[in-house]
Copies of this chain bind each other. A is one copy, B any other.
Amino acid sequence: MEEKQNIFGCHYIVEYIGCDTEKLKWSAPVEEALLESARLSQATIKQHAVHQYEPNGVSGFIFIAESHVSVHTWPESQYVAFDVLTCGEKMDSQVIIDYMRDFFKASKTNVQKILRGF
């Protein structure tokens, strides 16, 4: 007997490696880039927040109608932990992933795709 699958979304777990340290330090430009990437992807932005770490480093989050985008930067390691969780077909997550890769000037990007549900 076939088991019924209930898939609600697709979760992209992204590692940006070898980034430009300067792009990882301050919340305002990261916030602006996040919002622009979400707009370009056709996501529906609901709410967002960024947090500035001391002496530098950023966490950011956008609620989108399609779920969320989150970012955490490690400037001293030129590394960014990023994820996009989407449900529905309207938005294009790849647009966000590519836009932020270019913004952070990542020399390498690893993406894992995880289906969410049961």
Contact = CB atoms under 8 A, between A and B. Distances in A.
Copies of chain A in the complex: 2
Interface stretch (A8-16, A32-40, A88-96): A8-16
A61 B6 CA distance: 24
A64 to B, nearest CB: 9
Interface residues of A, number: 31
Contact of A114 (B47, B77, B112): B112
The A interface is mostly helix, strand or loop, or mixed, namely: strand
Given A47-B49, A61-B61, 9 more contacts: A8-B77, A17-B118, A46-B51, A70-B70, A70-B85, A79-B117, A79-B118, A81-B117, A108-B118
10 contacts: A6-B77, A8-B77, A13-B13, A15-B117, A61-B61, A67-B81, A68-B72, A70-B70, A81-B116, A108-B118
